Amino acid sequence: MSLLTQEVEELMEKHFGFSGFREGQKEIISDVLSDHDVLGILPTGTGKSLCYQLPSLYLEGITIVVSPLISLMVDQVKQLKAKGFKRVTAINSMLDFRQKKHRINNLHHYKLIYCSPEMLQNEHFMTQITSLHISLFVVDEAHCISQWGHEFRTDYLKLNDVIKKLKYPRVLALSATATPQVQDDIVKYLERPEMKKRVYAMDRENLTFTVEHVENWQEKMERIEHILRMHPVSTMIYFSSREWCEKVCFMLKEKITNLKVAFYHGGMEPDDRLLIQQQFMNDQLDVICCTSAFGMGVDKPNVRLVIHFHLPTQKESYIQEVGRAGRDGDSSVGLVLYSKGDEQIPIHLMELELPTENQIKHVYEYVNPLQLNSIEEKQEEIISQCELSESQWKFILFQMEKFHVVQDGIISKDKEKIENAYRHTVTYKQERFSHKVQKFYELLEWVHGDECRRKTIYQSFQKGFKAPTENCCDFCGFTFNEWEPLIVTRERKVHSWMEELKEIFHQEGPDEKTI
Amino acid sequence: MFHTILLDSFQKIQMERSDSAIFHLLTGKKSSQTVQDANTLNLKNYFGIYKTLKRKDFDKEILYLMKLGFIKSNPHNTTFITNKGITFLQHHMENNKGLHWLSGYHLHQMAPVFWSRIQLFIQTASNVTRGNNRFVPIVDQELTIQWMKQFFVQYKGQLDVIFNDMYEELCNLLSKQPSQQASIFVSQLTGFNKIGLSKFQTADRFQMTKHDVEMYTQSTLHFMMNQIYEKKGQYKRLLDFIPNDFHKLPLTESAKQTLRFLNSGIPLNTIAKKRRLKLNTVLDHVIEIAFVDPRFPIRKYVSEEVEQQILEVTEKLDTKRLKTIKEHLPEHVDYFAIRLVHAIHFRSSNPTKELPTI
């Protein structure tokens, strides 16, 4: 065992440039290396990904990582490559046909393969990977398996089957936020009852929580301006829409000229997103106005302040987003700005995620057994006729599969079966919606609460919490006036292009080169 | 700068085409019609200079120009430039050097490749020479990354020298530009501990639109590439960054295939059948080829007599509208013949510049 530990530490030093493990990493890694299935619940910012990246170097064979978000995969691959980790790739639907084909046919060149759960339903891909030696199967964001998790992805429910086809490699399921109920679901649906649970407390002792109730958005602006003038720290401001994100960014730029402000959201070009993200990491930007699209894979140590201009849809998301602050362990603050009526936006967003009852009815009417055979033939027509978003269509399709209305792409001709499935789909949709609303109300209750914020934010996830090292929360006496955060100062002069070019090309010394 | 380009385009098409024609021109749409427009209407320099332009953004700018009263639309769904627009255009054409450096027709395919190679190399070299091997590349096109790997292998151990030479060459080229245009270029570069600005941020810094930034950037790239070619000896490092398919005719993939068939003497009808294309599509290809191929055998398709007739009518009516011209010609002269003759004769006042090969 000690030999193993030593080797692991050497690998760590060599590839990741540091030797200390963070809480939980060492335990999970040695479990995986000694051939256990593991469920790891590690709070955001503690380096979940190291738990499989390191074993993948050590183990013979290939590590597969199932990840729900393409942007997340792409980020991870980029960062790994930046660290000198070459044999890594991501296979997802964003690749064009040729790229995909090339990568799939060359899977054996890689040690670490990221893929979407959808890819694992692709026959060609599966044929290729079942012929290879898969030594570790990782389910990232494993809470997606449970319908009680904060995101639910129906494709995750098919992973037990994939594991079977891969001849039972060891399995590592990871999540940052999972209630005990969700943890049970993960073990159950992956069908790995012997899974070792490694659950670590998610509370962060250097975070201070504060909620401010204001009258309207203008007052939110005033507060932000005031706080940033007082504390010009590295800050993230979260919004629930792209429009707001840009709008507030412009206003802040005009008002606070000594800080560099930019916005980031999913509607931007990938190139621009990458630049903004890197500038923020490099402290070229102080304040970033963003949507939830920002942050995944952003491991900036010195974010001091995370402001929520709008509410997220549940506590899990809030914990994750506020967790981007203070990864270096220094004093950091999460501020939620609330004004009456703010609950409208999240509720509306939740409605959009699920199909309406009318849409469900419409789809089932389409699936008339007398007219259709294969679902694929009509899929696009159904989606456009019923005006379904992708998530709405997937929701209905999964229900049709679950109740055997669609089997292997063929539609059942059994009318009774179809009606039964229809009724279940409607009921299930209602259940999901009220579950989501309930989750949101838990967050809202926290916002309106009159008790210690730290106690109430963590209580549904774990028993107790560590004593805060800084101010606890607004109820325990925190005010911005007394806060003394570390401030990074960076000299920012506007240079002429010649000076700028010299800097990039390391041409030190004045007028050394005459042009 | 973008507005000037739009206005110049409107002036040159003189109500003969819809707004879409300009959009296709700027985005470099590889259709025979667009290639033809670029040539006959003297708009070659703008061909494909803005491949990432979105239709929505284009329409917005058109609307804005209308609001300013620089252009107006008429009932035939075409747009014309107003006197106010002409005054604006003339002023800016005279004062904006960068406009005259654009040579989209020849460089539009190479400029983005050249740009991404420069960006990735500078970021890499700037980091590596500072001992930092861990950075996230800001360019993620697979082809560029592969090219750079080869480049590094080829010049192993000479990185410092190349990096210094490149500095000299870039400095030299940029000094020949107005300082604002040079600044726009440099502020987008990424190096060690300094991430470049996005197009949007650059626009913000220089108080212009992101479209302007895009145009200035293209102009700088075109300027550099042309300079590098003209004075090969002077910019030997940067020469390596230019992709070496300079000599190929700017044709669509499909037209290239048709050309291959034509060269082996296969008749048009057979080509259409073999390629499962409509005859009209193949005819479009022929016209596309006629535009760019200085050795195009016109006699195979049009007699000398018909050619003369077409030219005379075109001159007399002073228009390039096919329908009008056809109405004034004998019945048996078809549209294909007219377009072909136009292609040959209005290719460009100066024949396709023979470009050197590496």
Closest CA to A203 of A460, A449, A438, A485: A460
Closest in B52, B136, B199 to A278, CB measured: B136
What pLDDT does residue B352 have?
A: 37
Residue of B nearest to A253 (CA): B204
Closest CA to A342 of A310, A308, A317: A310
B137 contact A CB<8A: yes
Each residue of A354-366: pLDDT tens digit? 899 999 998 888 8
What pLDDT does residue A45 have?
A: 66
Per CB-CB distance under 8 Å, the chain A contacts of B187 are: 497, 500
Q: Between chains, do B122 and A504 touch, taking CB under 8 Å as contact?
A: yes
Distance from CA of A403 to the nearest CA of B (A): 43
In eight-state DSSP terms, residue B158 is -
Q: Between chains, do B174 and A276 touch, taking CB under 8 Å as contact?
A: no
- Beta-carbon contacts of B240 under 8 Å, excluding residues fewer than 6 positions away, are B151
Interface test with B, best of A505, A511, A513, A514 (most B CBs within 10 A): A505
Picking from A177-191, A358-372, B192-206, B304-318, which range would have the lowest pLDDT averaged per residue?
Answer: A358-372
Closest in B186, B187, B195 to A278, CB measured: B195
Closest in B134, B174, B194 to A504, CB measured: B194
Closest in A17, A79, A515 to B175, CB measured: A515
Closest in B135, B163, B183 to A497, CB measured: B183
- Cα separation of A81 and A68, whole Å? 20
| Contact (CB, 8 A) for A345 and A241 | yes
What pLDDT does residue A122 have?
A: 86
Closest in A17, A84, A500 to B187, CB measured: A500
Q: Between chains, do B183 and A276 touch, taking CB under 8 Å as contact?
A: no
Residue that wins the pLDDT comparison between A187 and A409: A187
Q: Is the pLDDT of residue B226 over 60?
A: yes
Q: Between chains, do B198 and A272 touch, taking CB under 8 Å as contact?
A: yes
Picking from A207-216, A466-475, A480-489, B295-304, which range would have the lowest pLDDT averaged per residue?
Answer: B295-304
- Cα separation of B327 and B329, whole Å? 6
B115 contact A CB<8A: no
User: Three-class SS string for A5-30?
Assistant: HHHHHHHHHHHHCCCCCCCCHHHHHH
Closest CA to A77 of A387, A69, A85: A85
- Cα separation of B340 and B343, whole Å? 5
- Helix then strand count (H, E) for chain A reads 19, 15
Residue A372 pLDDT class (50, 70, 90 cuts): low
Alpha helices (H) in A154-292, listed in sequence order: 159-165, 180-190, 217-230, 242-255, 270-281
CB atoms within 10 A of CB B193: 15
Closest in A262, A503, A507 to B201, CB measured: A262
- Cα separation of B119 and A254, whole Å? 31
Each residue of B41-76: pLDDT tens digit? 778 889 899 999 999 999 999 999 999 999 988 877
Picking from A403-412, B178-187, B310-319, which range would have the lowest pLDDT averaged per residue?
Answer: A403-412
Tell me the residue type at B184.
Answer: I
State in Å, rounded, how far the first CA of chain A is from the last one. 63
Per CB-CB distance under 8 Å, the chain A contacts of B112 are: none
Q: Between chains, do A275 and B195 touch, taking CB under 8 Å as contact?
A: yes
Q: Between chains, do B192 and A83 touch, taking CB under 8 Å as contact?
A: no
- Cα separation of A119 and B259, whole Å? 40
Closest CA to A210 of A512, A3, A473, A399: A473
Q: Between chains, do A278 and B197 touch, taking CB under 8 Å as contact?
A: no
Q: Which helix (H) or strand (E) holds B72?
A: strand B71-73
Collect contacts of A502-508 with beta carbons under 8 A, ≥24 apart.
A502/B167, A503/B191, A503/B194, A504/B122, A504/B126, A504/B186, A504/B189, A504/B190, A504/B191, A504/B192, A504/B194, A505/B122, A505/B126, A505/B163, A505/B164, A505/B166, A505/B167, A505/B191, A506/B126, A506/B129, A506/B130, A506/B192, A507/B167
Residue of B nearest to A515 (CA): B172
- Cα separation of A503 and A509, whole Å? 10
Burial of residue A473 (CB within 10 Å: 0-12, 13-18, 19+) is buried
Fold of A2-199: Rossmann fold (3.40.50)
- Beta-carbon contacts of B65 under 8 Å, excluding residues fewer than 6 positions away, are B3, B6, B7, B71, B85
**What three-state secondary structure class fits A139?**
strand
What pLDDT does residue B295 have?
A: 63
Q: Which helix (H) or strand (E) holds A379?
A: helix A375-385
Q: Which residues of A sit within 8 Å Cβ distance of B?
A: 17, 78-79, 82-84, 99, 262, 269, 271-272, 274-276, 278-279, 282, 284, 496-498, 500-507, 513, 515
Mean pLDDT, residues A328-341 taken together: 94
Per CB-CB distance under 8 Å, the chain A contacts of B192 are: 504, 506
CB atoms within 10 A of CB A262: 25
- Beta-carbon contacts of A487 under 8 Å, excluding residues fewer than 6 positions away, are A231, A232, A233, A304
- Cα separation of A128 and B4, whole Å? 54
- Cα separation of A189 and A163, whole Å? 11
Count the residues in chain A: 515
Q: Report the CATH number of the B253-345 domain.
A: 1.10.10
Structural domain boundaries in chain A: 2-199
Q: Report the CATH number of the B2-95 domain.
A: 1.10.10.10
Each residue of A98-156: pLDDT tens digit? 888 888 888 989 999 999 888 898 888 999 999 999 999 999 989 888 876 666 777 88
B166 contact A CB<8A: yes
The two three-digit tokens of residue B341, written as one number = 């003759």
Distance from CA of A499 to the nearest CA of B (A): 10
Distance from CA of A272 to the nearest CA of B (A): 5
| CATH 1.10.10.10, chain B: domain bounds | 2-95
In eight-state DSSP terms, residue A473 is B
Closest CA to A159 of A134, A128, A138: A138
Each residue of A160-214: pLDDT tens digit? 999 999 999 999 999 987 888 889 999 999 999 899 999 988 888 999 999 999 9
Each residue of B83-124: pLDDT tens digit? 999 999 999 888 888 888 998 888 888 899 999 999 999 999
| Contact (CB, 8 A) for A284 and B195 | yes
Backbone dihedral angles phi then psi of residue B47, each to the nearest 5 degrees: -65, 120
- 3-state helix, strand and coil shares in percent for chain B, rounded to the nearest 5: 65, 0, 35
Between CA B340 and CA B348, with CA B342 as vertex, the angle to 5 degrees is 120
Residue B357 pLDDT class (50, 70, 90 cuts): very low
**What three-state secondary structure class fits A409?**
coil
- Cα separation of A78 and A72, whole Å? 10
Q: How remote is the C-alpha of A203 from its chain's centroid?
A: 18
- Cα separation of B269 and B272, whole Å? 5
Distance from CA of B172 to the nearest CA of A (A): 6
User: ipTM beyond 0.95?
Assistant: no
Residue A4 pLDDT class (50, 70, 90 cuts): low
